[in-house]
Chain A
Amino acid sequence: MRSFDLSRRGVIGSAAALAACGPTGGMPGSLGGADMARGHLLRDAFGDAVPAETRRTGIAILGGGIAGLAAAWTLAEAGYRDFRLLELEDRSGGNARSGRNAITAYPLGAHYLPIPNVEAVGVRHLLDRLGVITGWQGSTPVFDPYQLVGDPDERLLRLGRWQEGLVPTLALAKTDHDQIERFFAAMASFRDARGSDGRPAFAIPMALSSRDPTLLALDGQSWTAWLDRHGYTSAELRAHIRYVCRDEYGTEPGDVSAWTGIHYFAGRRGDAVGDGDAVLTWPGGTGHLAEAMAARVAGHVDTGHVVGRVRRRGDGVSIDALDAIRRRRVRIEADAAIIAMPRFVAAHVVEGWEGSADGFSYAPWIVANVSVDRLPGGPGAALAWDNVSATSNSLGYVVATHQGLASVGGASVLTWYLPLSEMAPARARALMQARPLADWQRIVHDDLMAMNPDLDGAISRIDVWRWGHAMVRPVPGFMWGQARQAAARFAPPLFAAHSDLSGISIFEEAHYRGTLAAEAAMREAGFAHHSLLAA
């Protein structure tokens, strides 16, 4: 037998592409990213070798992102104990993981969660249990003020001056101003609209949205085409819409459907005592929630486990994985499996699912965490949590220490975002791999300097993180087309659960998919439980 004893260093270290690089060109930092090589290991590497160990479990959760963790949380809440969660990386959390240095924790990906809608029942339950919701006035939640984003929350650099908020307001031409007003009024009526089936036109989770054909028809056209058709030509408005679209989907407005474009503006009806439009954030971003969920199910999680093959076996499932920590192959025999891996991975490792990722495409992102020894300022509005430049192709930066209580600002970490949306995803991924740390650092540095010349000399470190498959792309036809809907259907004993299945990569969608799958699996197993999704 050819040993499968791949060394942790060989498989993980290099693959992790984490290869902590030393200072390049003088600027300290590192280049990291989702563990591509561990991911590439997958099925081929597993072959038919006999596993060193066979374990048994009731429900196996494969993948420990928000969806997988939500599934685990749901099982634990219901009192279902016989489950294991397998996660490829050394830490669970997936795209919602955070990093940490001597200054502060910071996001590697997801950084905030908007106040959830009434229909996001599962997320509200979670936030209540975690103390993010501190109480209820009737059926309306009260949120912990320390976890609501502090004021000022957003500012935009435009015409050489920072203004509050991200929608341009200063020195607008009349046509720009009028179109912006008309656009937001149109989005507000979409927000309040209900379809012929009585459901909200745009809901979060998206699965609860109306199936009214006139609304779903919006999925057939591109966001750009819709905007053009409705006379939204203002460059200022379009720049804002492009910013939002790239921020939310990592994708250009021409490449997402009008349904998804509108969903961002019309899907949120945050329900809270006080400001429902507020967002929740933590120094490490939504990694804070991932860690809290992981802590609740800690005894059930096997990190460093690369799932390589998933097969139906009789009534159950047989899962082959590489235990990268003990360097051996393990087989898990389970009654059911919750597939909480991204679709492009699942299609590769689940037998019989070949090709099931057709139609799924992914946006690559760069996230840089920039350590600074003083806070940025600039003319006009004061430093905010989220800081965006109208002239930059990046999405600007959020300040990791913004929620801190110190009255004198000092060192901080700025998390800088760039979706590589201007070229085909595959090309962007190739570029992402090819470009050395020093080049990324220079790009980040120059972009920050253009926004905040006052940071000159203040940057002490730039850590760059590459997300090859950061977010599923809601291209026209994807949200309400065959591929997504088929992939989302449960096929006991396999229960798919991942934000990919919603077509929109956000915390609430991942959480919903995980909770839904866990409850379906318990139902299938005849395990009585109270649904966390029931209002």
Chain B
Amino acid sequence: MADAQAGDAVTRLGPILLFSAFVVATCGLVYELLAGTLASYLLGDSVTQFSTVIGTYLFAMGMGAWLSRGVKRNELAVFIRVEILIAAIGGGSAALLFLLFDRVGDFRLPLYGMVLLIGTLVGLEVPLLMRLLKDRLEFGDLVSKVLTFDYIGALAASLLFPLVLVPYLGLIRTGFLFGLANVAVALGLLLMLPKGAQLRGELAAGVVVAAALVAGLFGAERLQTLAEVAAYQAPVIYADSTPYQRIVLTKAGGDLRLYLNGNLQFSSRDEYRYHEALVHPALGRVARPARVLVLGGGDGLALREVLKHPGVDAITLVDLDPAMTRLFSRSAMLTPLNQGALTDRRVRVVNADAFVWLRANRGQFDAIVVDFPDPTSFSVGKLYTLSLYRELARAIAPGGIAVVQSTSPLVAPRAYWTVAATLEAAGLVTRGYHANVPSFGEWGFILAAHGPIGDAVRLPPGLHFLDAPTLAAMSVFPPDMARRPVEVNRLDNQVLVRAFDAEWSRIEG
């Protein structure tokens, strides 16, 4: 395209160019707000996220402005290309970042990469616009007009974003919508170009981007779930946020998985290994496990194993979340897994906080199965303290036994042996063992009783994992899992949470 022709075109395009300053400013700020909001959603700490995103964005805009000097001719064509690029990248940014969040090691990398890229492109816009308009307006007028539209656009964005866009459209669709505005500017300019000056390639690209954005706008609903699915590696078939936790079930092939707050609880492929290992070494050591207590385990899978023992008269199951126990007593998809254990007439379900319940409890039990979530926070960490184990010791009947799931002795040996040392500090005799559960890794358990814990275990028939030789092997701790000196975990030092966090972050990065 000859420069003369282009100059001509620019003259005719004056008003629409000024209008595009407004659109461009609105879109630019929206992308910045999108990135900031997303970062604080996904990374937490809104103040830090917002200020670093905004800082990076402004810096990138400066780079863009500086780079604009490199554009020596063809400003209009460059401007149109920039618009199409911003439409594609900025418009798709929210969707892309959501999808990437759980797939990349460090989410900040794509986040700030994206912010830099969009910022640079947006930084190019206004200088280019000014140069396009410089011959139509005298300098003072030019600066004042462009900046006015720019600031009005910024105002519009900052009002629309929190009041209308986020509540009504959500982040992903907001992105697509403003991408469309950018591409509309590009297409508008392209269509108004004189016949001889047409830019076919740009036109085609603009149309493709616009079509993709429209598709995204309407398909966003699916994308939203896609983002959650991405986090779980398998289709989400059930999701519920209760006052206590987020319950998510996924299913791929024959594999049903339960996640609580994003942490895997079981995979139907190998949960039998976990639950057989959790329950039978304890119950098989009691002469007659008539009264059984299960703490945690609202999925009913441990219950299923407990019920395999003859002589069980009454089981009390204490789980925090009524939504969990309801789901696993009623759902036709889940009851086959626990074989309806939660509705067995011998089972009494109590929905209460285990510590509070145990402290008030005056009853005694022949066997107690303690299946709490891992000590990932100080509030859950309380369930592994000396104070809780003292209450636990009171609840173990003479001749009775307890078993505690106690994280992986391979990944977190300090954490594992802290549980043992703490149970011992409560006056109990302990005996550790471990089992391989493929979806978890090498997993650890600790038996605790008032007196010595022998080797003899009576296993009920029909188990898939445990037999005598396996049981014997489970008691062997090779050097990499061997006992080490640790402190007792107390309410006022919470050493377990600290050890657990340090050891697991070593492998999870």
Contact = CB atoms under 8 A, between A and B. Distances in A.
Contacts of B356: 405-406
B493 interface: yes
Interface in B459-503: 490-494
A422 B366 CA distance: 63
A407 B490 CA distance: 15
Interface stretch (A240-248, A375-383, A485-493): A375-383
A424 B281 CA distance: 70
B490 A145 contact: yes
A408 B46 contact: no
A220 interface: no
Interface stretch (B302-310, B377-385, B392-400, B405-413): B377-385
Nearest to A151: B494
Interface string A114-157: 00000000000000000000000000000001101111110000
Contacts of B243: 408, 410
Interface residues of A, number: 25
B328 to A, nearest CB: 19
Given A151-B378, A278-B492, A405 B355 contact: yes
B353 A408 contact: yes
A405 B320 CA distance: 12
Most buried by B among A149, A151, A406, A409: A151
A524 interface: no
Contacts of A377: 44
A405 B377 contact: no
Contacts of B378: 150-152, 382-383
Given A160-B48, A378-B45, A408 B379 contact: yes
A216 to B, nearest CB: 36
Contacts of A145: 385-387, 490-492
Given A379-B45, A407-B354, A149 B492 contact: yes
A358 interface: no
A377 B494 CA distance: 18
Interface string A269-281: 0000011001000
Nearest to A408: B244
A146 B48 contact: no
Interface string A400-412: 0000011111100
A454 B386 CA distance: 33
A146 B377 contact: no
Contact of A379 (B44, B353, B382): B44
Interface in B408-435: none
A275 B355 CA distance: 24
B44 A406 contact: no
B508 to A, nearest CB: 18
Nearest to A152: B378
A150 B491 contact: yes
Contacts of A382: 377-378
A275 B492 contact: yes
Contacts of B490: 145, 151, 274
Nearest to B377: A382
A160 B385 CA distance: 32
Contacts of A481: none
B48 A148 contact: no
A268 B243 CA distance: 43
A408 B320 contact: yes
Interface in A377-420: 377-379, 382-383, 405-410
A145 B426 CA distance: 13
A47 interface: no
Interface residues of B, number: 29
Contacts of B46: 453-454
Say whether chain A's binding surface is mostly helix, strand, loop, or mixed: loop
B159 interface: no
A71 to B, nearest CB: 32
Contacts of B383: 407
Nearest to B51: A160
B47 interface: yes
Nearest to B380: A407
A409 B355 CA distance: 13
B379 A407 contact: yes
Interface in B355-387: 355-356, 359, 372, 377-380, 382-383, 385-387
B495 to A, nearest CB: 8
Nearest to B385: A145
B494 A152 contact: yes
The residue among A146, A379, A406, A407 with the most chain B CB atoms within 10 A of its own CB is: A407
Interface in B38-53: 44-48
A407 B382 CA distance: 7
Contact of B492 (A148, A160, A379, A453): A148
B372 to A, nearest CB: 8
Interface string A445-456: 000000001100
A377 B48 CA distance: 14
Nearest to B501: A382
A150 B491 CA distance: 5
Interface string B103-119: 00000000000000000
Q: Which of A145, A160, A383 is the most central at the interface, judged by chain B CB atoms within 10 Å of its CB?
A: A145
Of the candidates B245, B359, B378, B385, the one having the most CB atoms from chain A within 10 angstroms of its own CB is B378
Contacts of A453: 45-47
A408 B245 contact: yes
Contacts of B385: 145
Contacts of B354: 407
Given A151-B378, A378-B45, A379-B48, A406 B353 contact: yes
B422 to A, nearest CB: 12
B47 A160 contact: yes
A406 B378 CA distance: 11
Contacts of B494: 150-152
B343 to A, nearest CB: 25
Contacts of B359: 405
Contacts of B492: 145, 148-151, 153, 274-275, 278
A274 B378 CA distance: 20
Nearest to A450: B47
Nearest to A279: B492
Given A145-B491, A152-B378, A407 B245 contact: no
Nearest to B378: A382
Contacts of A151: 378, 490-494
Nearest to A409: B379
B320 A407 contact: yes
A372 to B, nearest CB: 15
Interface string A338-382: 000000000000000000000000000000000000000111001
Contacts of B353: 405-408
A407 B354 CA distance: 8
B492 to A, nearest CB: 5
A407 B355 CA distance: 8
Contacts of B491: 145-146, 148, 150-151
A382 B245 CA distance: 18
Nearest to A148: B492
Contacts of A146: 387, 491
A405 B44 CA distance: 26
Contacts of A153: 492
A160 B52 CA distance: 12
A406 B354 CA distance: 8
A156 to B, nearest CB: 16
A151 B355 CA distance: 16
Interface in B285-329: 320
Closest 9 CB pairs of A and B: A405-B355, A151-B494, A379-B45, A148-B492, A150-B491, A406-B353, A145-B387, A408-B244, A407-B379
Given A151-B491, A453-B47, 7 more contacts: A146-B491, A150-B382, A160-B48, A377-B44, A407-B355, A408-B243, A454-B45
17 contacts: A145-B385, A145-B490, A148-B491, A151-B490, A151-B491, A151-B493, A153-B492, A274-B490, A275-B492, A379-B44, A379-B48, A405-B382, A407-B320, A407-B379, A407-B383, A408-B244, A408-B353
